Structure 1
Amino acid sequence: MNKIKWLGVAAGLVLLLGAAIGWMVLKDRKEPLNQSEFFVSSEKGKLQWLECSSRMGKIKGTFHQQQLIEEIGKVPIIQEYKYPLTGKKTDKGYELQITQKGKTQTYIAKFSGKNLLVQEQGKENDVMYQSSNKNKLDKYAARLQQELDEALYYAEEKEKNRLNTFFTEIKSVYGYFYSEENGEYQLLLKIDEALRQGELEGSLLMMSYTGNEQKPYEEIRYKLNGITDGLMVKFFTQVDGKKTTLQGNFQAATVGLNLSFWKTNQKLMFHAVTEKEFERSYEEFKIKAKN
Protein backbone atom coordinates (compact mmCIF):
# COMPACT_ATOMS: atom_id res chain seq x y z
CA MET A 1 0.00 0.00 0.00
CA ASN A 2 2.84 2.35 0.87
CA LYS A 3 4.39 1.78 -2.54
CA ILE A 4 1.10 2.40 -4.27
CA LYS A 5 0.60 5.49 -2.11
CA TRP A 6 3.99 6.95 -3.05
CA LEU A 7 3.42 6.19 -6.70
CA GLY A 8 0.18 8.13 -6.49
CA VAL A 9 1.90 11.08 -4.82
CA ALA A 10 4.66 11.06 -7.46
CA ALA A 11 2.10 10.96 -10.24
CA GLY A 12 0.30 13.88 -8.66
CA LEU A 13 3.51 15.89 -8.42
CA VAL A 14 4.28 15.17 -12.08
CA LEU A 15 0.80 16.34 -13.06
CA LEU A 16 1.18 19.51 -10.97
CA LEU A 17 4.62 20.21 -12.43
CA GLY A 18 3.33 19.65 -15.94
CA ALA A 19 0.40 21.95 -15.29
CA ALA A 20 2.71 24.63 -13.90
CA ILE A 21 5.04 24.41 -16.89
CA GLY A 22 2.07 24.47 -19.25
CA TRP A 23 0.71 27.53 -17.46
CA MET A 24 4.07 29.33 -17.73
CA VAL A 25 4.38 28.45 -21.42
CA LEU A 26 0.87 29.73 -22.03
CA LYS A 27 1.65 32.89 -20.08
CA ASP A 28 4.82 33.48 -22.13
CA ARG A 29 2.85 33.02 -25.34
CA LYS A 30 0.41 35.70 -24.26
CA GLU A 31 3.20 38.04 -23.17
CA PRO A 32 2.89 41.23 -25.34
CA LEU A 33 6.66 41.43 -25.77
CA ASN A 34 6.58 38.05 -27.52
CA GLN A 35 3.89 39.04 -30.02
CA SER A 36 6.21 40.98 -32.34
CA GLU A 37 9.40 40.00 -34.14
CA PHE A 38 10.89 43.47 -33.72
CA PHE A 39 10.20 46.89 -32.26
CA VAL A 40 11.53 49.55 -34.63
CA SER A 41 12.40 53.24 -34.36
CA SER A 42 13.25 55.02 -37.61
CA GLU A 43 14.32 58.62 -38.19
CA LYS A 44 16.40 60.43 -40.79
CA GLY A 45 19.85 58.88 -40.91
CA LYS A 46 19.18 56.35 -38.15
CA LEU A 47 17.44 53.00 -37.73
CA GLN A 48 17.14 51.21 -34.37
CA TRP A 49 15.29 48.09 -33.38
CA LEU A 50 14.82 45.78 -30.43
CA GLU A 51 14.89 42.04 -31.01
CA CYS A 52 13.93 40.46 -27.72
CA SER A 53 11.69 37.99 -25.93
CA SER A 54 10.45 37.37 -22.41
CA ARG A 55 10.60 34.02 -20.62
CA MET A 56 9.19 33.75 -17.13
CA GLY A 57 9.59 37.49 -16.64
CA LYS A 58 13.21 37.64 -17.79
CA ILE A 59 14.08 39.45 -21.00
CA LYS A 60 16.94 38.72 -23.37
CA GLY A 61 17.76 39.99 -26.81
CA THR A 62 19.72 42.42 -28.95
CA PHE A 63 19.57 46.14 -29.56
CA HIS A 64 20.40 46.91 -33.21
CA GLN A 65 21.47 50.28 -34.53
CA GLN A 66 22.26 51.42 -38.06
CA GLN A 67 23.38 55.00 -38.60
CA LEU A 68 24.32 57.01 -41.65
CA ILE A 69 27.74 58.56 -41.04
CA GLU A 70 28.72 61.60 -43.09
CA GLU A 71 32.11 63.02 -42.12
CA ILE A 72 33.91 65.82 -43.90
CA GLY A 73 36.46 64.44 -46.32
CA LYS A 74 35.24 60.85 -46.01
CA VAL A 75 32.93 58.60 -48.02
CA PRO A 76 29.46 58.28 -46.41
CA ILE A 77 28.76 54.87 -44.85
CA ILE A 78 26.14 53.10 -42.78
CA GLN A 79 27.65 52.06 -39.46
CA GLU A 80 25.99 49.06 -37.81
CA TYR A 81 26.12 48.16 -34.13
CA LYS A 82 24.70 45.30 -32.07
CA TYR A 83 24.45 45.48 -28.28
CA PRO A 84 23.28 42.84 -25.78
CA LEU A 85 19.95 43.54 -24.11
CA THR A 86 18.64 42.11 -20.85
CA GLY A 87 15.82 43.06 -18.54
CA LYS A 88 12.83 42.08 -16.47
CA LYS A 89 9.13 42.64 -16.27
CA THR A 90 7.90 45.12 -13.65
CA ASP A 91 4.54 46.27 -12.33
CA LYS A 92 4.60 49.26 -14.66
CA GLY A 93 6.07 47.57 -17.72
CA TYR A 94 9.67 46.57 -18.30
CA GLU A 95 13.14 47.52 -17.17
CA LEU A 96 15.75 47.05 -19.88
CA GLN A 97 19.55 47.20 -19.72
CA ILE A 98 21.58 47.79 -22.88
CA THR A 99 25.36 47.49 -22.73
CA GLN A 100 27.15 49.77 -25.20
CA LYS A 101 30.96 49.90 -25.34
CA GLY A 102 31.29 48.56 -21.81
CA LYS A 103 28.72 50.93 -20.32
CA THR A 104 25.29 49.68 -19.25
CA GLN A 105 22.34 52.04 -19.58
CA THR A 106 18.90 51.40 -18.08
CA TYR A 107 15.65 52.07 -19.96
CA ILE A 108 12.03 51.98 -18.84
CA ALA A 109 9.57 50.56 -21.37
CA LYS A 110 5.80 50.17 -21.56
CA PHE A 111 3.28 49.34 -24.23
CA SER A 112 1.11 51.83 -26.09
CA GLY A 113 -1.19 49.59 -28.07
CA LYS A 114 1.09 47.17 -29.90
CA ASN A 115 4.01 49.59 -29.87
CA LEU A 116 6.66 50.03 -27.21
CA LEU A 117 7.46 53.36 -25.54
CA VAL A 118 11.08 53.37 -24.36
CA GLN A 119 12.53 56.00 -22.05
CA GLU A 120 16.15 56.29 -20.98
CA GLN A 121 16.35 56.38 -17.19
CA GLY A 122 16.76 59.94 -15.96
CA LYS A 123 15.43 61.54 -19.14
CA GLU A 124 11.98 62.97 -19.85
CA ASN A 125 11.40 62.10 -23.50
CA ASP A 126 10.53 58.61 -24.67
CA VAL A 127 10.92 56.99 -28.08
CA MET A 128 8.20 55.04 -29.87
CA TYR A 129 9.36 51.64 -31.14
CA GLN A 130 6.76 50.30 -33.56
CA SER A 131 5.72 46.68 -33.61
CA SER A 132 7.17 45.24 -36.82
CA ASN A 133 7.90 42.06 -38.71
CA LYS A 134 10.75 41.19 -41.06
CA ASN A 135 9.04 42.74 -44.10
CA LYS A 136 8.50 46.07 -42.34
CA LEU A 137 12.06 46.08 -41.00
CA ASP A 138 13.40 45.48 -44.49
CA LYS A 139 11.42 48.50 -45.75
CA TYR A 140 12.94 50.71 -43.04
CA ALA A 141 16.41 49.39 -43.92
CA ALA A 142 15.78 50.07 -47.61
CA ARG A 143 14.80 53.65 -46.78
CA LEU A 144 18.09 54.15 -44.90
CA GLN A 145 19.99 52.61 -47.81
CA GLN A 146 18.30 55.11 -50.13
CA GLU A 147 19.54 57.93 -47.88
CA LEU A 148 23.06 56.49 -48.19
CA ASP A 149 22.75 56.31 -51.98
CA GLU A 150 21.72 59.98 -52.07
CA ALA A 151 24.58 60.94 -49.75
CA LEU A 152 27.04 59.08 -51.99
CA TYR A 153 25.59 60.75 -55.07
CA TYR A 154 26.17 64.24 -53.65
CA ALA A 155 29.36 63.42 -51.70
CA GLU A 156 31.71 64.12 -54.60
CA GLU A 157 30.12 67.49 -55.28
CA LYS A 158 30.19 68.43 -51.58
CA GLU A 159 33.84 67.43 -51.32
CA LYS A 160 34.71 69.43 -54.43
CA ASN A 161 32.96 72.51 -53.03
CA ARG A 162 34.65 72.07 -49.66
CA LEU A 163 38.11 71.92 -51.20
CA ASN A 164 37.41 74.86 -53.50
CA THR A 165 36.30 76.93 -50.52
CA PHE A 166 39.31 75.86 -48.45
CA PHE A 167 41.93 76.69 -51.08
CA THR A 168 40.24 79.98 -51.91
CA GLU A 169 40.16 81.00 -48.24
CA ILE A 170 43.71 79.90 -47.44
CA LYS A 171 45.03 82.26 -50.12
CA SER A 172 43.29 85.17 -48.37
CA VAL A 173 45.04 84.54 -45.03
CA TYR A 174 48.22 86.56 -44.35
CA GLY A 175 49.60 83.95 -41.95
CA TYR A 176 49.06 81.77 -38.90
CA PHE A 177 50.53 83.03 -35.65
CA TYR A 178 51.52 81.37 -32.39
CA SER A 179 52.61 83.17 -29.26
CA GLU A 180 52.47 82.33 -25.57
CA GLU A 181 52.38 84.89 -22.80
CA ASN A 182 55.87 85.43 -21.35
CA GLY A 183 57.11 82.81 -23.82
CA GLU A 184 60.62 82.63 -25.21
CA TYR A 185 59.54 82.61 -28.83
CA GLN A 186 56.73 83.34 -31.24
CA LEU A 187 56.04 81.78 -34.61
CA LEU A 188 54.56 82.92 -37.90
CA LEU A 189 53.54 80.31 -40.45
CA LYS A 190 53.02 81.70 -43.94
CA ILE A 191 51.65 79.72 -46.85
CA ASP A 192 52.87 81.28 -50.09
CA GLU A 193 51.44 78.73 -52.50
CA ALA A 194 48.54 76.32 -52.10
CA LEU A 195 47.68 74.13 -55.08
CA ARG A 196 44.25 72.58 -55.52
CA GLN A 197 45.96 69.16 -55.63
CA GLY A 198 46.98 69.68 -51.99
CA GLU A 199 50.61 70.78 -52.32
CA LEU A 200 51.80 73.63 -50.09
CA GLU A 201 54.85 75.89 -50.02
CA GLY A 202 55.65 78.43 -47.36
CA SER A 203 57.83 79.32 -44.41
CA LEU A 204 57.96 79.30 -40.64
CA LEU A 205 59.46 82.38 -39.03
CA MET A 206 60.72 81.74 -35.50
CA MET A 207 61.48 84.76 -33.31
CA SER A 208 63.13 83.98 -29.98
CA TYR A 209 64.81 85.75 -27.08
CA THR A 210 68.56 85.22 -26.81
CA GLY A 211 69.37 86.81 -23.44
CA ASN A 212 72.21 88.67 -25.17
CA GLU A 213 72.13 92.42 -24.54
CA GLN A 214 73.89 93.11 -27.84
CA LYS A 215 71.42 91.00 -29.77
CA PRO A 216 68.36 90.45 -27.54
CA TYR A 217 66.39 88.45 -30.10
CA GLU A 218 66.97 86.46 -33.26
CA GLU A 219 64.93 85.37 -36.22
CA ILE A 220 65.23 82.11 -38.14
CA ARG A 221 63.12 81.35 -41.19
CA TYR A 222 62.53 77.71 -42.15
CA LYS A 223 61.40 76.81 -45.64
CA LEU A 224 58.36 74.55 -45.70
CA ASN A 225 56.90 72.11 -48.20
CA GLY A 226 53.70 70.36 -47.32
CA ILE A 227 50.51 68.58 -48.20
CA THR A 228 46.92 68.98 -47.05
CA ASP A 229 43.40 67.85 -47.84
CA GLY A 230 41.91 70.81 -46.02
CA LEU A 231 41.69 68.77 -42.83
CA MET A 232 45.05 67.19 -42.02
CA VAL A 233 48.28 68.98 -42.84
CA LYS A 234 51.95 67.96 -42.97
CA PHE A 235 54.95 70.21 -43.45
CA PHE A 236 58.51 69.10 -44.15
CA THR A 237 61.59 71.18 -43.35
CA GLN A 238 65.23 71.08 -42.24
CA VAL A 239 66.17 71.92 -38.64
CA ASP A 240 69.89 71.97 -37.85
CA GLY A 241 70.48 69.82 -40.90
CA LYS A 242 67.90 67.19 -39.91
CA LYS A 243 64.70 66.40 -41.78
CA THR A 244 61.77 67.42 -39.59
CA THR A 245 58.04 66.88 -40.02
CA LEU A 246 55.35 69.12 -38.59
CA GLN A 247 51.85 67.69 -38.66
CA GLY A 248 48.43 68.68 -37.44
CA ASN A 249 44.92 69.64 -38.49
CA PHE A 250 43.14 72.69 -39.81
CA GLN A 251 40.14 73.96 -37.87
CA ALA A 252 39.27 76.06 -40.90
CA ALA A 253 41.40 78.01 -43.35
CA THR A 254 40.32 81.36 -41.92
CA VAL A 255 40.46 80.20 -38.28
CA GLY A 256 43.73 78.35 -37.75
CA LEU A 257 45.39 75.00 -37.23
CA ASN A 258 47.11 72.94 -34.58
CA LEU A 259 50.62 71.81 -35.44
CA SER A 260 53.41 69.81 -33.85
CA PHE A 261 56.65 71.68 -33.15
CA TRP A 262 60.10 70.25 -32.55
CA LYS A 263 60.68 72.25 -29.35
CA THR A 264 57.59 70.90 -27.56
CA ASN A 265 55.92 67.56 -26.88
CA GLN A 266 52.51 68.91 -27.76
CA LYS A 267 50.79 70.55 -30.68
CA LEU A 268 50.62 74.33 -30.80
CA MET A 269 47.53 76.28 -31.81
CA PHE A 270 48.20 78.77 -34.63
CA HIS A 271 45.46 81.28 -35.34
CA ALA A 272 44.92 83.24 -38.54
CA VAL A 273 46.16 86.85 -38.42
CA THR A 274 46.21 89.86 -40.69
CA GLU A 275 49.46 91.60 -41.58
CA LYS A 276 48.55 94.47 -39.27
CA GLU A 277 47.88 92.12 -36.33
CA PHE A 278 51.19 90.35 -36.84
CA GLU A 279 53.19 93.59 -37.12
CA ARG A 280 51.73 94.78 -33.83
CA SER A 281 52.70 91.52 -32.05
CA TYR A 282 56.10 91.59 -33.74
CA GLU A 283 56.89 95.10 -32.47
CA GLU A 284 55.71 94.23 -28.94
CA PHE A 285 57.99 91.18 -28.98
CA LYS A 286 61.04 93.26 -29.99
CA ILE A 287 60.32 95.86 -27.30
CA LYS A 288 60.09 93.17 -24.59
CA ALA A 289 63.32 91.62 -25.81
CA LYS A 290 65.20 94.93 -25.49
CA ASN A 291 63.86 95.72 -21.99
Structure 2
Amino acid sequence: MSIQYRVLSRLRDLGPLSRAQLSDELEMPRPRLVAELDRMIASGTILEAGPAASRGGRRSTLVQLDPELRFAAVDLGASSIDVEITDGRLAAVASYSESADIRQGPGPVLDRVSELLRKLGAQSRSARLDTIGIGLPGPVSFRDGVSVSPPIMPGWDRFPVRSTLTSEHGCPVVVDNDVNLMALGEHHSGVARSVDNLLFVYEHAFTHQARDLVTAIAEERAPEPSFADALEVQLVLDAVQRSAEHDAAWTSVPARTASNTDPGPGPKPTDRGQ
Protein backbone atom coordinates (compact mmCIF):
# COMPACT_ATOMS: atom_id res chain seq x y z
CA MET A 1 0.00 0.00 0.00
CA SER A 2 1.57 3.29 -1.10
CA ILE A 3 2.28 6.19 1.24
CA GLN A 4 0.10 8.43 -0.91
CA TYR A 5 -2.86 6.05 -0.61
CA ARG A 6 -2.49 5.89 3.18
CA VAL A 7 -2.28 9.68 3.45
CA LEU A 8 -5.35 10.21 1.27
CA SER A 9 -7.31 7.60 3.23
CA ARG A 10 -6.53 9.28 6.56
CA LEU A 11 -7.41 12.74 5.28
CA ARG A 12 -10.60 11.38 3.71
CA ASP A 13 -11.78 9.68 6.90
CA LEU A 14 -10.42 12.08 9.55
CA GLY A 15 -10.34 15.47 7.86
CA PRO A 16 -7.45 17.96 8.10
CA LEU A 17 -4.46 16.69 10.08
CA SER A 18 -1.13 18.16 11.02
CA ARG A 19 2.06 16.71 9.66
CA ALA A 20 2.86 15.53 13.18
CA GLN A 21 -0.53 13.81 13.50
CA LEU A 22 -0.09 12.10 10.14
CA SER A 23 3.35 10.91 11.17
CA ASP A 24 1.82 9.38 14.31
CA GLU A 25 -1.13 7.88 12.42
CA LEU A 26 1.05 6.27 9.77
CA GLU A 27 3.90 5.37 12.12
CA MET A 28 6.33 6.83 9.62
CA PRO A 29 9.50 8.91 10.05
CA ARG A 30 8.65 12.58 9.58
CA PRO A 31 11.35 13.34 6.96
CA ARG A 32 10.02 10.60 4.70
CA LEU A 33 6.41 11.70 5.22
CA VAL A 34 7.21 15.39 4.67
CA ALA A 35 8.90 14.59 1.36
CA GLU A 36 5.78 12.69 0.20
CA LEU A 37 3.45 15.47 1.38
CA ASP A 38 5.49 18.04 -0.56
CA ARG A 39 5.06 15.96 -3.73
CA MET A 40 1.31 15.67 -3.14
CA ILE A 41 1.02 19.43 -2.56
CA ALA A 42 2.92 20.09 -5.80
CA SER A 43 0.53 17.77 -7.69
CA GLY A 44 -2.55 19.54 -6.30
CA THR A 45 -3.88 16.50 -4.42
CA ILE A 46 -3.61 18.11 -0.97
CA LEU A 47 -3.28 21.65 0.36
CA GLU A 48 -1.76 23.30 3.39
CA ALA A 49 -4.51 24.58 5.67
CA GLY A 50 -2.78 26.81 8.21
CA PRO A 51 -1.09 26.07 11.52
CA ALA A 52 -2.25 23.22 13.75
CA ALA A 53 -2.98 23.52 17.45
CA SER A 54 0.20 23.71 19.48
CA ARG A 55 1.57 20.48 20.95
CA GLY A 56 4.42 22.33 22.61
CA GLY A 57 7.20 23.93 20.65
CA ARG A 58 6.89 24.96 17.04
CA ARG A 59 3.39 24.43 15.64
CA SER A 60 2.96 21.95 12.78
CA THR A 61 1.09 22.75 9.57
CA LEU A 62 -2.31 21.27 8.80
CA VAL A 63 -2.84 19.53 5.48
CA GLN A 64 -6.18 18.66 3.88
CA LEU A 65 -7.56 17.22 0.68
CA ASP A 66 -7.91 19.70 -2.13
CA PRO A 67 -11.59 20.80 -2.05
CA GLU A 68 -11.57 20.63 -5.86
CA LEU A 69 -10.86 16.88 -5.93
CA ARG A 70 -13.59 15.07 -7.83
CA PHE A 71 -14.22 11.32 -7.96
CA ALA A 72 -16.83 9.74 -10.22
CA ALA A 73 -18.74 6.55 -9.43
CA VAL A 74 -20.60 4.80 -12.25
CA ASP A 75 -22.92 1.83 -11.78
CA LEU A 76 -23.98 0.09 -14.98
CA GLY A 77 -26.93 -2.20 -14.44
CA ALA A 78 -28.72 -4.42 -16.91
CA SER A 79 -31.31 -1.67 -17.41
CA SER A 80 -29.87 1.47 -15.81
CA ILE A 81 -26.99 3.94 -15.54
CA ASP A 82 -26.29 5.61 -12.18
CA VAL A 83 -23.59 8.27 -11.91
CA GLU A 84 -22.41 10.27 -8.90
CA ILE A 85 -19.64 12.84 -8.48
CA THR A 86 -18.10 13.22 -5.02
CA ASP A 87 -15.46 15.39 -3.43
CA GLY A 88 -12.32 13.93 -1.89
CA ARG A 89 -14.12 12.98 1.34
CA LEU A 90 -16.78 11.12 -0.69
CA ALA A 91 -19.54 13.65 -0.09
CA ALA A 92 -21.87 13.70 -3.09
CA VAL A 93 -21.85 16.91 -5.12
CA ALA A 94 -23.90 15.77 -8.16
CA SER A 95 -25.76 12.62 -9.18
CA TYR A 96 -28.02 11.31 -11.94
CA SER A 97 -29.82 8.08 -12.89
CA GLU A 98 -31.58 6.96 -16.04
CA SER A 99 -32.88 3.84 -17.73
CA ALA A 100 -30.58 2.13 -20.22
CA ASP A 101 -30.11 -1.22 -21.91
CA ILE A 102 -26.70 -2.81 -21.39
CA ARG A 103 -27.38 -4.98 -24.45
CA GLN A 104 -26.95 -1.94 -26.71
CA GLY A 105 -23.24 -2.69 -26.47
CA PRO A 106 -20.21 -0.91 -25.05
CA GLY A 107 -19.99 1.83 -27.67
CA PRO A 108 -23.39 3.49 -27.14
CA VAL A 109 -23.48 2.81 -23.38
CA LEU A 110 -20.00 4.20 -22.62
CA ASP A 111 -20.61 7.18 -24.91
CA ARG A 112 -23.65 7.98 -22.78
CA VAL A 113 -21.65 7.46 -19.58
CA SER A 114 -19.02 9.94 -20.79
CA GLU A 115 -21.71 12.44 -21.73
CA LEU A 116 -23.23 12.21 -18.26
CA LEU A 117 -19.82 12.52 -16.59
CA ARG A 118 -19.13 15.73 -18.48
CA LYS A 119 -22.54 17.19 -17.58
CA LEU A 120 -22.24 16.30 -13.90
CA GLY A 121 -18.66 17.54 -13.82
CA ALA A 122 -19.90 20.90 -15.03
CA GLN A 123 -22.62 20.89 -12.37
CA SER A 124 -20.03 20.19 -9.67
CA ARG A 125 -18.01 23.22 -10.86
CA SER A 126 -14.91 21.17 -11.43
CA ALA A 127 -12.64 21.39 -14.44
CA ARG A 128 -11.46 17.79 -14.10
CA LEU A 129 -12.21 14.34 -12.78
CA ASP A 130 -9.41 12.85 -10.70
CA THR A 131 -10.55 9.23 -10.73
CA ILE A 132 -13.45 7.21 -12.14
CA GLY A 133 -14.71 3.95 -10.68
CA ILE A 134 -17.17 1.88 -12.73
CA GLY A 135 -19.08 -1.25 -11.77
CA LEU A 136 -20.23 -3.71 -14.44
CA PRO A 137 -23.01 -6.32 -14.07
CA GLY A 138 -20.87 -9.32 -14.94
CA PRO A 139 -17.47 -10.98 -14.53
CA VAL A 140 -14.53 -8.57 -14.77
CA SER A 141 -10.76 -8.80 -15.13
CA PHE A 142 -9.73 -6.17 -12.59
CA ARG A 143 -6.13 -6.32 -13.84
CA ASP A 144 -7.05 -5.68 -17.49
CA GLY A 145 -10.06 -3.42 -16.92
CA VAL A 146 -12.37 -5.48 -19.15
CA SER A 147 -15.50 -7.62 -18.93
CA VAL A 148 -14.91 -11.35 -19.29
CA SER A 149 -17.65 -13.42 -20.97
CA PRO A 150 -20.51 -11.49 -19.33
CA PRO A 151 -23.73 -13.50 -19.77
CA ILE A 152 -26.13 -10.55 -20.10
CA MET A 153 -23.83 -8.12 -21.96
CA PRO A 154 -23.52 -9.02 -25.68
CA GLY A 155 -20.56 -7.30 -27.31
CA TRP A 156 -18.80 -6.49 -24.03
CA ASP A 157 -16.46 -9.49 -23.82
CA ARG A 158 -12.85 -8.18 -23.46
CA PHE A 159 -13.95 -4.67 -24.47
CA PRO A 160 -11.37 -2.16 -23.13
CA VAL A 161 -13.64 -0.31 -20.70
CA ARG A 162 -10.82 1.14 -18.61
CA SER A 163 -8.67 2.39 -21.49
CA THR A 164 -11.73 3.81 -23.27
CA LEU A 165 -12.75 5.95 -20.28
CA THR A 166 -9.15 6.86 -19.45
CA SER A 167 -8.62 8.18 -22.97
CA GLU A 168 -11.90 10.08 -22.86
CA HIS A 169 -11.43 11.75 -19.46
CA GLY A 170 -7.66 11.76 -18.89
CA CYS A 171 -7.72 10.24 -15.41
CA PRO A 172 -7.20 6.85 -13.75
CA VAL A 173 -10.15 4.45 -14.09
CA VAL A 174 -10.95 1.42 -11.93
CA VAL A 175 -13.23 -1.29 -13.35
CA ASP A 176 -14.78 -3.99 -11.18
CA ASN A 177 -17.87 -6.12 -10.80
CA ASP A 178 -20.78 -4.09 -9.44
CA VAL A 179 -21.43 -6.43 -6.52
CA ASN A 180 -17.77 -6.32 -5.45
CA LEU A 181 -18.04 -2.53 -5.33
CA MET A 182 -21.31 -2.67 -3.36
CA ALA A 183 -19.64 -4.93 -0.81
CA LEU A 184 -16.68 -2.52 -0.52
CA GLY A 185 -19.09 0.37 -0.02
CA GLU A 186 -20.97 -1.44 2.73
CA HIS A 187 -17.69 -2.34 4.43
CA HIS A 188 -16.39 1.22 4.26
CA SER A 189 -19.44 3.20 5.32
CA GLY A 190 -22.51 0.93 5.47
CA VAL A 191 -23.98 -1.79 7.66
CA ALA A 192 -20.79 -3.89 7.50
CA ARG A 193 -18.50 -1.15 8.77
CA SER A 194 -17.99 -2.82 12.15
CA VAL A 195 -17.55 -6.44 11.02
CA ASP A 196 -14.51 -8.39 9.88
CA ASN A 197 -16.27 -10.85 7.55
CA LEU A 198 -19.04 -10.08 5.07
CA LEU A 199 -21.10 -12.14 2.64
CA PHE A 200 -22.89 -9.84 0.20
CA VAL A 201 -25.67 -11.26 -1.98
CA TYR A 202 -27.37 -9.20 -4.70
CA GLU A 203 -30.26 -10.61 -6.72
CA HIS A 204 -30.98 -7.86 -9.26
CA ALA A 205 -29.02 -9.51 -12.10
CA PHE A 206 -30.83 -12.80 -11.46
CA THR A 207 -34.17 -11.03 -11.92
CA HIS A 208 -33.13 -9.84 -15.37
CA GLN A 209 -31.75 -13.25 -16.30
CA ALA A 210 -35.07 -14.84 -15.34
CA ARG A 211 -36.88 -12.31 -17.51
CA ASP A 212 -34.55 -13.04 -20.43
CA LEU A 213 -35.10 -16.78 -19.97
CA VAL A 214 -38.88 -16.45 -20.15
CA THR A 215 -38.60 -14.15 -23.18
CA ALA A 216 -36.29 -16.60 -24.99
CA ILE A 217 -38.68 -19.48 -24.41
CA ALA A 218 -41.59 -17.36 -25.66
CA GLU A 219 -39.61 -16.47 -28.80
CA GLU A 220 -38.58 -20.11 -29.35
CA ARG A 221 -34.83 -19.46 -29.22
CA ALA A 222 -32.01 -20.73 -27.01
CA PRO A 223 -31.80 -18.74 -23.77
CA GLU A 224 -28.69 -16.89 -22.64
CA PRO A 225 -27.48 -17.75 -20.02
CA SER A 226 -28.26 -21.37 -20.90
CA PHE A 227 -29.77 -24.00 -18.64
CA ALA A 228 -26.23 -25.40 -18.22
CA ASP A 229 -25.04 -21.98 -17.00
CA ALA A 230 -27.90 -21.88 -14.49
CA LEU A 231 -26.96 -25.33 -13.26
CA GLU A 232 -23.36 -24.23 -12.72
CA VAL A 233 -24.56 -21.31 -10.58
CA GLN A 234 -26.68 -23.75 -8.58
CA LEU A 235 -23.64 -25.96 -8.00
CA VAL A 236 -21.72 -22.98 -6.63
CA LEU A 237 -24.60 -21.96 -4.33
CA ASP A 238 -24.86 -25.53 -3.10
CA ALA A 239 -21.13 -25.53 -2.29
CA VAL A 240 -21.52 -22.25 -0.36
CA GLN A 241 -24.35 -23.77 1.70
CA ARG A 242 -22.35 -26.92 2.44
CA SER A 243 -19.35 -24.82 3.45
CA ALA A 244 -21.49 -22.72 5.82
CA GLU A 245 -22.81 -25.90 7.44
CA HIS A 246 -19.23 -26.97 8.22
CA ASP A 247 -17.83 -23.78 9.78
CA ALA A 248 -16.76 -22.25 6.46
CA ALA A 249 -14.64 -25.26 5.54
CA TRP A 250 -13.14 -25.33 2.04
CA THR A 251 -15.69 -26.98 -0.25
CA SER A 252 -15.08 -27.96 -3.85
CA VAL A 253 -17.58 -27.28 -6.62
CA PRO A 254 -18.36 -30.33 -8.79
CA ALA A 255 -17.06 -30.03 -12.34
CA ARG A 256 -19.64 -29.75 -15.09
CA THR A 257 -20.02 -32.98 -17.01
CA ALA A 258 -22.25 -34.22 -19.78
CA SER A 259 -24.44 -35.92 -17.19
CA ASN A 260 -25.01 -32.87 -15.03
CA THR A 261 -25.43 -30.33 -17.85
CA ASP A 262 -27.96 -32.31 -19.90
CA PRO A 263 -31.34 -30.88 -18.94
CA GLY A 264 -32.90 -34.27 -19.70
CA PRO A 265 -36.53 -34.73 -20.62
CA GLY A 266 -38.84 -31.81 -20.28
CA PRO A 267 -40.05 -28.80 -22.23
CA LYS A 268 -37.61 -27.27 -24.72
CA PRO A 269 -37.91 -23.76 -26.15
CA THR A 270 -39.83 -25.25 -29.10
CA ASP A 271 -42.19 -27.32 -26.92
CA ARG A 272 -44.58 -24.51 -25.98
CA GLY A 273 -48.04 -25.73 -25.16
CA GLN A 274 -46.99 -29.39 -24.86
Which category of TM-score, normalised to the shorter sequence, fits these structures?
under 0.3
TM-score (norm 1): 0.21
In terms of fraction of residues, the more strand-rich structure is 1
In terms of fraction of residues, the more helix-rich structure is 2
TM-score (norm 2): 0.22
